[in-house]
Amino acid sequence: MKSVDLPLFPGYVFCRFDYEHRQAVLTTPGVSSIIGFDSAPAPVSDAEIERVQAIVASGLPAQPWPYLHVGEAVRIDHGALAGLEGVLIREKDALRVVVTIDMLRRAVAVEVDRDTIRPLPSARPRQLSRTA
């Protein structure tokens, strides 16, 4: 068995630069654009960079993870509920997937491990659907 290091954020390079001198960054091989909104750069905060650096420096196993928002439509990928879709909520320190039954105006929430869920590409979950 061999251990291989992979990037935590594939396709991204973090660097400090004066935006007025961005051409030097944009002409670097492999760089296609600078992240931004409405033609303005969107810098990553020093605190966020420091948190990632601390994780890397810790030597503990780390891996890329889907960014999930409370209220986002998700699908359970593993376990007895694999294929079930619902809405992600947080209650105290637990994550739950809420599945609604619109006709009955009822819902049920099931506690899930973060590593069993993935965001759905669609905006609204298909409630109570299960795939084999």
pTM over 0.95: no
In a domain, 131, yes or no: no
Judge whether 109 and 56 are in contact, CB under 8 Å: no
Same domain, 24 and 82: no
Domain end position, chosen among 40, 64, 88: 64
- The answer on 42 and 77 residing in a single domain is no
Residues 78 and 112: their CA atoms lie apart, in Å, by 10
Q: What is the dihedral of CA 27, 31, 36, 40, to 10 degrees?
A: 0
pLDDT at 99: 87
Structural domain count, the chain = 2
Q: Are residues 45 and 93 in the same domain?
A: no
Look at residue 94 and tell me whether its pLDDT is greater than 80.
Answer: yes
Structural domain of 79? 73-119
On whether both 11 and 36 belong to a single domain, the answer is: yes
Percent of the chain topping pLDDT 70: 89
Same domain, 49 and 85: no
Categorize the per-residue pLDDT at 62 as very low, low, confident or very high, splitting at 50, 70 and 90. Answer: confident
If we measure between CA atoms, which residue out of 118, 17, 7 comes closest to residue 52?
Answer: 7
Q: How far apart are the first and last CA of the chain?
A: 31
Q: Which two tokens stand for residue 115?
A: 């590593």
Instruction: Average the pLDDT over 28-32 and give the result.
Output: 89
124 occurs within a structural domain = no
Determine the average pLDDT of the residues in 58-74: 81
At 107-117, the pLDDT tens digits run: 888 999 888 99
Average pLDDT over residues 35-49: 87
Q: Is residue 95 part of a domain?
A: yes
